[in-house]
Structure 1
Amino acid sequence: MRRVTAIDYERFLDVMCIDGERLASCVDSAPGDSPVPGCPGLTLAETVQHLGDVYRSTADQTRLPNNREVTPSSGIRSSIPGDSARLAAYLRAGLAEVSGELSAHRPEERCATWWPADASFGFWARRLTHETIVHRVDVQAAAGLRRDHVDTDIAVDGVDEVLTLWFDHQLGELAITASRAATVAVRTGGRAWVAYAGPTGTRVRAVDPNAVGPVDATVSGDPFSVYLWLWGRLPDWTVRFEGDADAIAQFWVLLSVATR
Structure 2
Amino acid sequence: MTGRALIDHDRLLDVLVAEGELMADTADGARPDLPIPSKPTSTLADTVRHVGGVFRMVAARLRGGNGPVRWESEPPPGGALVEFLRGGLHELVDELAAHPADEVCTTWWTLDQTYGFWRRRMAHEATIHRVDLQSATHTEVFTVDDDVAVDGVDEALTLWFAHRLSVIGVSGSSEFKVAVRSGGRVWLVTSHGDNKAAWRASPADTKSAQATVTGEPMTVYLWLWGRLPFTAVRITGDMDAVAALWALLRLATH
TM-score range, shorter chain: over 0.9
Match of 1:255 among 236, 249, 253: 249
Q: The residue matched to 2:206 in structure 1 has which SS?
A: coil
Q: What is the identity, as a one-letter code, of the residue corresponding to 2:89?
A: L
Q: How big is the shift at 1:9?
A: 1.7
Match for residue 42 of structure 2?
Answer: 42
C-alpha contact (below 8 Å) 1:186/1:192 kept by paired residues: yes
Q: Deviations over 1:160-214 (max 9, x none)?
A: 0010101001111122112121111110000011111122321111101344222
Q: 1:220-239 counterparts in 2 under 5 A?
A: 220-239=214-233
Q: How big is the shift at 1:8?
A: 1.4
Q: The residue matched to 2:188 in structure 1 has which SS?
A: strand
Q: 1:12-91 counterparts in 2 under 5 A?
A: 12-28=12-28, 30-65=30-65, 68=66, 77-79=72-74, 86-91=80-85
User: 4+ residue runs of structure 1 moved beyond 2 angstroms?
Assistant: 68-71, 76-83
Q: 1:204-243 counterparts in 2 under 5 A?
A: 204-243=198-237
Q: Distance in 2 between matches of 1:158 and 1:249?
A: 20
Q: What is the identity, as a one-letter code, of the residue corresponding to 2:84?
A: Y
Q: The residue matched to 1:176 in structure 2 has which SS?
A: coil
* 141-150 or 193-202, larger mean C-alpha shift: 193-202
Q: 1:181-200 counterparts in 2 under 5 A?
A: 181-200=175-194
Q: Quote the sequence identity (%).
A: 44
So what's the TM-score if we normalise by structure 2? 0.94
Q: Distance in 1 between matches of 2:249 and 2:6?
A: 24
Q: Would you say how many aligned residue pairs link Structure 1 and Structure 2? A: 254
Match of 2:171 among 162, 171, 177: 177
Match for residue 146 of structure 1?
Answer: 140
Q: What is the identity, as a one-letter code, of the residue corresponding to 1:56?
A: R
So what's the TM-score if we normalise by structure 1? 0.92
Q: How big is the shift at 1:77?
A: 4.3
Q: 1:182 to 1:206 in 2, by over 3 A?
A: same
Q: Distance in 2 between matches of 1:228 and 1:92?
A: 24
- Mind listing any 5+ residue stretches in structure 2 that lack a counterpart? none
